[in-house]
Amino acid sequence: MCAIVGVFGNSEASKIAYYALFAMQHRGQEATGISSSNGEKITTVKKRGLVTDVFDKKALTKLKGNMAVGHNRYSTAGKESIWDTQPVYASYQLGKISIVHNGNLVNKNEVRASLIEQGAIFQSSMDTENIIHLIAKSQKKDLKNRIIEALDKIKGVYCLCIQSKTKMFAIRDRYGIRPFSLGRLKSGGYIVSSETCAFDLVEAEFIRDIKPGEMIIFKQGCHEYESIQIFEPDPHICAFEYIYLARPDSNIEGKNVYLARKEMGRALAREKKVDADLVIPVPDSGVSAALGYAQESGIPFDMGIVRNHYIGRTFIEPTQEKRDIKVKLKLSPINSLLKNKKIVVIDDSIVRGTTAKRIIKILKEAGASEVHMRIASPAIKHPCRYGIDTPSYKELISANYSTEEIKEQIKADSLDFLSIDALKTSLGNDTNYSLASFDGNYFIK
């Protein structure tokens, strides 16, 4: 998951990066960091914690210069330590660089083993450090060609922002799995960011998505950026960005995430109809799809469950016990609305089944006469290897049980998922999607 941002050519670069990271807090809540450059010196502030906790006025004043890169961390590869926070800063033969990375390298272990064999020393468990070592080892004469050579050796998912003292490189892997967009700041200069929701907050105008396999180069003193297609594009946009990860007000590849979710809800209503009195969402993740389901089915929509907003996402809790209590703390029913009603409850996805079990229980305890669960995505049968923190096969409920068996376990009156075909149709069949979690097609070999 993770969020990255790069700001170039604006005297308030670190402040703009800060706001952009704040807008993208949903993509990572474990740690955050910003590196800025004033042309002579790169300064970095990074720490475990939320954006508003890590950066105060003093920290932002320290981050001088008209370029900055930033990162919100959600750990997929790497452990929970200060060494695993980004930006990763390093000195090498041609100078100093600072790098932020969103994604997951699939050949991380092989590359690392070979680098260690050649004498490299690693400080963190992040795959991002591999890229730094490969850049440092390259014999090419300039940073651009060193980056290209390094990326040629790695396989997997990455959106990168690499900053030297005077240049910034924004790169998206050839599959374009994670979103990455380019914008022009109204106050001057450019911004690249994982999600377009950051643009609205910092008053940037969307230019376009960075293309799969593209490198964009910003240079001090140049008003225009340079674009090079460094790898042949083979687009596979992650369907899960639309289903769950991205913020509803973001647009990915020209599609608004909220509207895409609503469309999935509509498709679900057409495909997996049920007779009920009320459609209710699991807040907040099921709201957009539930609205679509209600509009398509004609069943009234209502908020039958309220969410306590002072608790983070349940999935982030590392142990099952903690996850259970957090779901309880997070969601509570409106009894007088639900009593004696036949309910269709909509969520975006089922991972381990913790949320679904708890939701059905609280709806039944609130007096619902029937609870039918509909999920606005296909069953997740395979772990993600491309940057989302989904658990292993062992913990994925749909990898181990049939829909009927899960229905029994969560004690629903019925349960159904959106089909893969309906998901594709709802997103528009105009591009390829990465559907590995649903169909097990790990296309990066």
Which active-site residues does the annotation give? 2
19 or 315: whose CB is closer to ligand AMP? 315
1 or 126: whose CB is closer to ligand AMP? 1
Kindly list the distances between the CA atom of residue 129 and the CA atoms of 30, 79, 120, 379, in Å, as whole numbers in the listed order. Answer: 18, 13, 10, 34
Q: How far is the CB of 401 from ligand AMP (least distance, A)?
A: 12
Instruction: Give burial (CB, 10 Å; 0-12/13-18/19+) of 334.
Output: middle
Kindly list the distances between the CA atom of residue 409 and the CA atoms of 107, 355, 399, 403, 429, in Å, as whole numbers in the listed order. Answer: 37, 12, 14, 10, 35
Q: How far is the CB of 379 from ligand AMP (least distance, A)?
A: 11
230 or 420: whose CB is closer to ligand AMP? 420
CB 115 within 8 A of CB 131: no
**Residues 66, 207, 292, 432, CA torsion sign:** negative
Residue 316: strand, helix, or coil: helix
Alpha helices, H only, 154-254: 197-202, 239-240
65 or 179: whose CB is closer to ligand AMP? 179
Strands 67-73 and 3-8: antiparallel
Q: How far is the CB of 203 from ligand AMP (least distance, A)?
A: 30
Q: How far is the CB of 339 from ligand AMP (least distance, A)?
A: 24
253 or 347: whose CB is closer to ligand AMP? 347
Residue type, position 92, single letter: Y
Residue 73: strand, helix, or coil: strand
> Beta strands of 194-283 (E only): which ranges?
204-209, 214-219, 226-229, 237-238, 251-252, 255-256, 278-281
Q: How far is the CB of 230 from ligand AMP (least distance, A)?
A: 29
Q: How far is the CB of 71 from ligand AMP (least distance, A)?
A: 18
Beta bridge mates, 229: 214
29 or 426: whose CB is closer to ligand AMP? 29
210 or 406: whose CB is closer to ligand AMP? 406
Q: How many C-beta neighbours within 10 Å does residue 364 have?
A: 18
Structure tokens at 358: 């708890």
Q: How far is the CB of 285 from ligand AMP (least distance, A)?
A: 3
How many residues does the structure list for the chain? 445
Q: Which of 420, 440, 402 is nearest to 271 (CA)?
A: 420
Q: How far is the CB of 110 from ligand AMP (least distance, A)?
A: 26
Kindly list the distances between the CA atom of residue 420 and the CA atoms of 42, 224, 244, 273, 338, in Å, as whole numbers in the listed order. Answer: 46, 42, 15, 17, 31
Strands 3-8 and 190-193: antiparallel
- Interaction site with ligand AMP (CB under 6 A): 244, 282, 285, 313, 315, 347-356, 388-390
Phi then psi dihedrals of residue 352, to 5 deg: -90, -20
Residue type, position 209, single letter: D
Q: What is d(CA 343, CA 274) in angstroms, rounded to the nearest whole number? A: 9
55 or 244: whose CB is closer to ligand AMP? 244
